[in-house]
Amino acid sequence: MMLLLLAFLLLLAAIATIGAALAKEAPDGLARALQALEQSGQAGREIAQEADRPFTERVLAPFQARALSLGRRMTGADKADRIRQRLDFAGNPRGWTVDRVLSMKVICAVALPVVVVAYGALLGGSFTVLLVIALASAALGFFGPDLYLYNKASHRADQIKRSLADAVDLLTISVEAGLGFDAALQQVARNTTGPVAEEFSRVLREMQLGMSRSEALKSMGGRSNVDDLNTFVGSMVQADAFGIPIAQVLRVQSNEIRVKRRQYAEEKAQQVPVKIMVPLILFILPCLFIVVMGPAVLNAIDAFNNK
């Protein structure tokens, strides 16, 4: 009897345990409804959070990421180095990176043909004309960022050529007044504006981060395609390496850079007559012929009509 009673108690304990486990795993109707409401509320909060994100993060960022991956496939491995060098020549415009240039090339190559073809279709252009316009606009959109960087680099190079002589003069005066080369660079960077002052400031920051003076100057020369600046950098590096007095080297470099700037201005002045020939022939001379010959042609037409 004791064994039967013990077996019966064990059976009741097992049934109670199984029932509790089933009750925990399979909730009743109210619990299931509460769980469904909680899940729907969580989904609603996720949808609301997704909708609250900015348009740039929801739409433009994924599109730009796909364009970046496509641009990396279309360009070679060495293209990134060339783009980085162009960015250095252009002065590293704010917000422009290698990834942004690659993505912008693809985006412009896709968006510009769509806009141009849509406008041409509204004007009633034929299929052949629209196809040619689409191909031309796609090529223009793909190489548009490169043209922008080339234009920025050319404009920056002109600014460096115009302001380098004055900056070197101020640097020479500061060194001859007793300042060290680093302090003279700081004076030029503080009292002048433009790309030369920005480059001198970057040289000082690189030197503060532990880079040697020669390496910082060489890095400045590598970020520019101006021959005068590269010559100045080479002279400063050699003077630092061989222990030549910097004031004497700066005085020689100042005179040479000023002479080269005068020659550059004379070269630009001699190019003006050649460059002005195109607008003169295409726009000015036809208008002049119309004004001068127009009354004579009208009088001749009236004379022949009267006869």
Give the pLDDT of the chain (307 residues) as one tens digit per residue.
554 455 555 555 555 554 444 444 444 454 555 565 556 555 555 554 555 555 455 555 665 666 666 666 666 666 777 888 888 888 888 878 888 888 888 888 888 888 888 888 887 777 788 888 888 888 888 888 888 989 999 899 988 888 888 888 888 888 888 888 888 888 888 888 888 888 899 999 988 888 888 888 888 888 888 888 888 888 888 888 888 888 888 888 888 888 888 888 888 888 888 888 888 888 888 888 888 888 888 888 888 777 6
Q: Please tell me the distance from the alpha carbon of residue 283 to that of residue 292, in angstroms, as a whole number.
A: 15
pLDDT of residue 68: 62
Q: 163 with 102, same domain?
A: no
Q: 107 with 161, same domain?
A: no
pLDDT of residue 18: 47
Q: 260 with 163, same domain?
A: yes
pLDDT of residue 25: 44
Question: Domain range holding 131?
Answer: 59-156
Handedness of CA 288, 292, 293, 294 (dihedral sign): positive
Residues contacting residue 222 through CB under 8 Å, at least 6 positions apart: 88
pLDDT of residue 238: 87
Q: What are the tokens at 98?
A: 């290698």
pTM for the predicted model, two decimal places: 0.67
CATH code of residue 166: 1.20.81.30
pLDDT of residue 2: 53
pLDDT of residue 40: 57
Q: 182 with 143, same domain?
A: no
Is 293 inside a domain boundary?
no
Reference 165, options 205, 194, 204; nearest CA is 194
Per residue in 244-273, pLDDT (tens digit) is 888 888 888 888 888 888 888 888 888 888
Residues 170 and 191: beta-carbon distance below 8 Å: yes
Is 289 inside a domain boundary?
no
Is 67 inside a domain boundary?
yes
